[in-house]
Structure 1
């Protein structure tokens, strides 16, 4: 009788594994965001409310938070991001879910969020508060960013892992400056410089943003650290001049859309060993994984295992400049490559992904071997189906931008708008007007600007 139960279980494998990837399921949502149709994206989220109480709770909150922010409902947006923040703090792995993921499918677990995704929750909360000119609240998010960064650094010991985020320190500096605290801003910028020069240069090939160099010199001056101001001005080869702008704008350009997860498969030969051991081998990739099967030796000579991978989405715009009231142009400094970070985060845990996936495949083959003891035909069928219906976890926060750049633009008294000129991949130019809120002398206005227009991800299984 046992094999009948296991055959039914195989049908469950088939239904779950043959489901589309998360990108395929949410394609219309992604398309709406890429086309700046935020109302349609909001309608998609409203129709997906069941996600809030399921395994996609984190993604429900952050995607709804993004959409409502783009609709300029900043208070509502932060209510969703706050729920995502609480989820991150409170989420604990379920033994039952982990067991189901190990035996059946990784999508049976509650999605916890990637390390960089958790940091971005506080980034967007802070942006919303800055838009509402609620600087105290933005400062709280700044401190929460710092706590989360410390947790990330404590989590990993290896210098080869993503455990420090330079841009989050830049953002902390920007918030401190908006709060008129140049001393802490200088410290945050100095920490960012250290991470750019070390971790980011090594892991992502991201250079120190030109704007950060200018910000370091300026905040050193404002804090009275003249020796530091001279040191950094000399180091970066920039002029150490006094800032006499009436006010200024920090424009954070959130461009493109982050990569999406797809799946890819590898064939492994099954090498029978002694004393109940078998080994999964892929000679092309140099992969070898031993597994103790005992008496339940697999009845097939090969298996196929499926793993997650990221697929890049190309941005429609490749460059931008901002023009002030007198026609002067200010370029953007590239500060955060979310695309590269996403690939790096997944790469860091691929050995774990290999181990978990192959253990799950091995357990399925052991079950098939047990069934073969009662019915050889059913056992062989179960073995083949179990391998063919493997599926990877393709969930991710897909409404994140692909990268973030920023620029500081001097403002004159009474200025109500600025112009931004965007350059497409084809080299054509588009000019747009950005409206400014009212501001006072000496104020730092911080605004995000979004161009999420992107090309579709070229996944392995198109739809």
Structure 2
């Protein structure tokens, strides 16, 4: 009876490891999604060991988000800086990579998605702007520029996410606020071209009208009269210089929460070929993946000969649909639309889609090696082979780690305001007619830009399988 008991104990231990990253961090997610930021911060504080774990990049990001929303901008940037350094210093651990082929991808360090490495610098820059530190915000702009260049060099396929319009737009806003209208114009122009090129093709998103106005204004301020006339014609807009007797508010609305990585699986059948070639096939999806074992791997070949079908786990994103889908700002009797500038949800889905072929290949290789080992051992020791089979089944899981506290969509608007203490009202609206108002007071100074970020967490309950409150 000892062996079955050991099997049961092993099963119990391994089942705990089958939870998704979201489920493993349920207490934090529950607090954050309920808007209880103090409790979310306490949960992170209790789990300091995560700062040294394989998902430490995500720990730093969550710490940065929570502290920023609490108004602790310097502490927030310390966490984001650790995340940035992790990305700069990341090196593949080949021992962990090898171990992941015998267990699952969570054995490796989570290195982060491309858009996650960009968005952390968005938060850092905004934190510095809230602190009034324009120089440090410009440093983040330069870092963003370097990362955009790296991303563009990394991917040559024109259908891949390799340019970020919002990041360029943000850089333009920061450059202009610091008085550098030349670099602002260049950044706005790059943003416009990316919106009308990659973003329109990949995400169905066009350039916001606010960006067009900013591009016209900075062209005018730089004395680029030909550019002003050209863009007036392209945009169908007439630019009229207006005196700036007061200051400005640049308002960012981080709406909802981005998608959560979950798991799905496919059953594959095995087609045995010649010379160590096997093909894993699934007729429902039309998948056929060849897998080759070298001629000296006789034991593995014999193991695969007994293998007829198996299950493979893959990652997928699950959207968390937002409740509010439009918003305006009211100030001094005027209304200003908040326009979508970054569809984080769509970008996340695109990034995963782009590498799904590689995900399939790695996952199939992982399961094939595990199954081959299992069937090889069965020939020598049936009980040990069964134990390995159970271990393989329990450890077969996808990597469900991702940054789960970023917004679903980022909106923004620019509002001219007179000097002094000014009240601005945010008006949120849903497709079902639900509304919500929030009032803010800003101290506006002549010639200066005030920055503000508002995070809404509301979602559509019935459509969000990850809702925790």
TM-score (norm 2): 0.92
Q: What does 1:113-192 correspond to in 2, within 5 Å?
A: 113-192=112-191
Are the structure 2 counterparts of residues 35 and 431 from structure 1 closer, same or farther at C-alpha, using a change threshold of 3 Å? same
User: Mean Cα displacement is larger for which, 381-390 or 142-151?
Assistant: 381-390
The residue that corresponds to 1:329 in the other structure is 335
Structure 2 contact 106–399 (Cα < 8 Å) conserved: yes
Give the gaps of 5 or more residues in structure 2: 294-299
User: Mean Cα displacement is larger for which, 84-93 or 289-298?
Assistant: 289-298
1:411 to 2:417 alignment = yes
* Separation in structure 2 between the aligned mates of residue 434 and residue 28 of structure 1, nearest angstrom: 31
The residue that corresponds to 2:215 in the other structure is 216
The residue that corresponds to 2:315 in the other structure is 308
* Separation in structure 2 between the aligned mates of residue 231 and residue 158 of structure 1, nearest angstrom: 30
Structure 2 contact 276–301 (Cα < 8 Å) conserved: yes
The residue that corresponds to 1:278 in the other structure is 278
Structure 2 contact 11–394 (Cα < 8 Å) conserved: no
SS across alignment from 1:422:
strand
The residue that corresponds to 1:347 in the other structure is 353
The residue that corresponds to 1:68 in the other structure is 67
Structure 1 contact 255–315 (Cα < 8 Å) conserved: yes
* Separation in structure 2 between the aligned mates of residue 454 and residue 74 of structure 1, nearest angstrom: 26
1:55 to 2:62 alignment = no
Structure 1 residue 383, shift from structure 2 partner: 3.9
Q: What does 1:17-96 correspond to in 2, within 5 Å?
A: 18-96=17-95
Structure 2 contact 281–288 (Cα < 8 Å) conserved: yes
Structure 1 residue 265, shift from structure 2 partner: 0.4
Structure 1 contact 276–297 (Cα < 8 Å) conserved: no
Structure 1 contact 18–391 (Cα < 8 Å) conserved: no
The residue that corresponds to 1:253 in the other structure is 253
Q: Deviations over 1:111-131 (max 9, x none)?
A: 111100000111000000001
Structure 1 residue 444, shift from structure 2 partner: 1.8
The residue that corresponds to 1:452 in the other structure is 457
Counterpart selection for 2:447 from 442, 445, 457: 442
Give the gaps of 5 or more residues in structure 1: none
Q: Deviations over 1:217-258 (max 9, x none)?
A: 111111111221122122112221113232111111111000
* Separation in structure 2 between the aligned mates of residue 307 and residue 361 of structure 1, nearest angstrom: 11
Are the structure 2 counterparts of residues 201 and 442 from structure 1 closer, same or farther at C-alpha, using a change threshold of 3 Å? same
Structure 1 residue 381, shift from structure 2 partner: 6.4
Structure 1 contact 105–391 (Cα < 8 Å) conserved: yes
User: Mean Cα displacement is larger for which, 375-384 or 129-138?
Assistant: 375-384
SS across alignment from 1:294:
helix
Structure 1 residue 455, shift from structure 2 partner: 4.4
Structure 1 contact 262–460 (Cα < 8 Å) conserved: no
The residue that corresponds to 2:296 in the other structure is none
Structure 1 vs Structure 2 CA RMSD: 2.3
The residue that corresponds to 2:104 in the other structure is 105
Structure 1 contact 255–452 (Cα < 8 Å) conserved: yes
* Separation in structure 2 between the aligned mates of residue 41 and residue 243 of structure 1, nearest angstrom: 45
Counterpart selection for 1:318 from 312, 318, 325: 325
1:289 to 2:289 alignment = yes
* Separation in structure 2 between the aligned mates of residue 394 and residue 388 of structure 1, nearest angstrom: 16
SS across alignment from 2:307:
coil
Runs of 4+ in 1 over 3 A off after TM superposition: 10-14, 376-385, 455-463
Structure 1 contact 270–281 (Cα < 8 Å) conserved: yes
The residue that corresponds to 2:297 in the other structure is none
TM-score (norm 1): 0.93
